[in-house]
Structure 1
Amino acid sequence: MTRPVVAALAAATLAAGLSACAPLVVGGAMVGGVMVALDRRTSGAQVEDQAIELKAINRIKEVAGDRVHVNATSFNRMVLLTGEVPTEEDKQAIELAVSRIENVRSIVNELAVMEKSSLASRSSDVILAGKVKATLVDARDIQANAFKVVTERGIVYLMGIVTEREANRASDLARSVSGVRKVVRVFEIVSEEELARILPKTEPADTRTDPAAQ
């Protein structure tokens, strides 16, 4: 097992101890409770995303209590809802409640109407998210820190501010990981010129070519 894979799996194990969901970020948002500077979002957006997620937890509990398993992941004020709810009414009520949180600009509702997933399933998702992130880290033609990985029931959700080339490459890499049932793209697509304007000075512009296209 390569060092990046071991590191990513260790991070995933830590995430599992902190939350029932399976989001994993390496070099992007939070590591050990400390904000990482290397992020394509503004510092204000990073702080707001954290606040949105905390508020979403409370809103979801108010609306549905413990009868649901729902995760709210915010990236650049776009909120991804994943997990399981017992009824379509619960699904819509949760979306409405989260959409009313201050600074939320859009909702991607991926909630499944079904029984709550098991602890074993969620643990598998954490490990799978680690494998996907490690695969992104190992790739030499994309910057892994640009992507947030969320996994539910073997479905991998990819979030981030990326170019079309980066989005396609990351999606292909995620699909190549054993155990991934489906890849759902929740990206904010920007042009190469737009990306060059928003990148931190420590991160070079994405000028590398995709080896698969050569």
Structure 2
Amino acid sequence: MKMTSIPRLVLTLTAGAALAAALSACVPLVVGGAAVGAGLVATDRRTSGAQLDDQGIELRGASRIREIANDQMNISVTSFNRQLLLTGTVATDADRRRAEAAVQGIDNVRSVVNEVRVGPGRSFQVRSNDTFITGKVKASLLDAKDLFANSFKIVTDDGVVYLMGLATRREVDRATDITRGVSGVQKVVRVVEVVSDAELAGQLRQGGTDAPAAAPSGSRVPLPPMDPVPAPASGGATITPVR
């Protein structure tokens, strides 16, 4: 086996394990985050504080949605750099609005992108395919020599791939093109915070520390302004149809 095939093999095995865990039980809500370990902190462009905040945002968001959930509500909660993404399905538009209202006001959330759809829940086959697509997109980004794969978090819902991340405009455009080329992808939605090369270099030089260090517990940590790609009318998400 060539050494270059090892990352793809690891991703494939990881995706399979995640699929088995995700589909082993029927639950109405999914939390998008994972435990923050030393390795993740070291390779993630988010500050360590932002990573911990994202984990807390997902847990609190899941709890709030669970309080209002019904049998037709299947919602995933994902946070990246304190931007919260809601995906999944609900039975009515009223439920969609209730879900967004439930997560509004969570500490340190900068914005909520509500991509929940009104319609029937996803079948086992669709959810399995979404997990498979996520794995393929991650592998494709990892294979790209001109991208830092950990700049993006991948979320797939019914063939729609959401790119969340902290990246330059060139990286966003490149990642979008790669994702469009993955078999099974129906559409790409970019929920990305765009930074300049200079801003990115400055963040990396800071070594992943939040500022100010003396910020009181529970307060919002100051962050640079968001620059969506391109600037949408509302919500912070840009829907890009597959070519």
Instruction: Classify the TM-score, shorter chain.
Output: 0.7 to 0.9
The structure having more radius of gyration, on CA atoms, is: 2
Q: Is the 8 A contact 1:15 1:22 kept in 2?
A: no
Q: Is the 8 A contact 2:151 2:166 kept in 1?
A: yes
- TM normalised by structure 2 equals 0.75
How far is the alpha carbon of 1:30 from its aligned partner? 4.3
Q: Secondary structure at the match of 2:192?
A: strand
Aligned equivalent of 2:165? 160
Aligned equivalent of 1:44, options 40, 49, 57: 49
How far is the alpha carbon of 1:202 from its aligned partner? 8.5
Unaligned residue ranges in structure 2 (runs of 5+): 24-29, 209-243
> How far apart, CA to CA, are the structure 1 residues paired with 2:151 and 2:206?
14
Aligned equivalent of 2:6, options 3, 7, 10: 3
How far is the alpha carbon of 1:8 from its aligned partner? 1.4
The answer on 1:13 being equivalent to 2:20 is no
> How far apart, CA to CA, are the structure 2 residues paired with 1:73 and 1:14?
19
Q: Is the 8 A contact 2:31 2:58 kept in 1?
A: no
* Equivalent residue letter for 1:3: I
User: How many aligned residue pairs are there?
Assistant: 197
Aligned equivalent of 1:212? none
Aligned equivalent of 1:83, options 80, 88, 105: 88
> How far apart, CA to CA, are the structure 2 residues paired with 1:200 and 1:60?
38
Change (3 A) 1:179 1:7: same
> How far apart, CA to CA, are the structure 1 residues paired with 2:180 and 2:147?
16
Q: How well do the aligned residues superpose, as a CA RMSD in angstroms?
A: 2.2
The answer on 1:175 being equivalent to 2:164 is no
Q: How does 1:1-214 map to 2 (within 5 A)?
A: 2-19=5-22, 30=34, 34-35=37-38, 36=40, 37-199=42-204
Q: Secondary structure at the match of 1:199?
A: helix
Aligned equivalent of 2:226? none
Q: Is the 8 A contact 1:16 1:22 kept in 2?
A: no
How far is the alpha carbon of 1:16 from its aligned partner? 2.3
Change (3 A) 1:200 1:17: farther
| Runs of 4+, deviation exceeding 4 Å | 20-23, 200-203
> How far apart, CA to CA, are the structure 2 residues paired with 1:52 and 1:4?
30
- TM normalised by structure 1 equals 0.85
Residues 32-80 of structure 1 show CA distances to partners (whole Å, capped at 9, x for unaligned) of: x635121111111100100110111111111123321100100011001
How far is the alpha carbon of 1:102 from its aligned partner? 1.4
How far is the alpha carbon of 1:13 from its aligned partner? 1.8
> How far apart, CA to CA, are the structure 1 residues paired with 2:31 and 2:55?
16
> How far apart, CA to CA, are the structure 1 residues paired with 2:98 and 2:86?
12
> How far apart, CA to CA, are the structure 2 residues paired with 1:189 and 1:127?
27
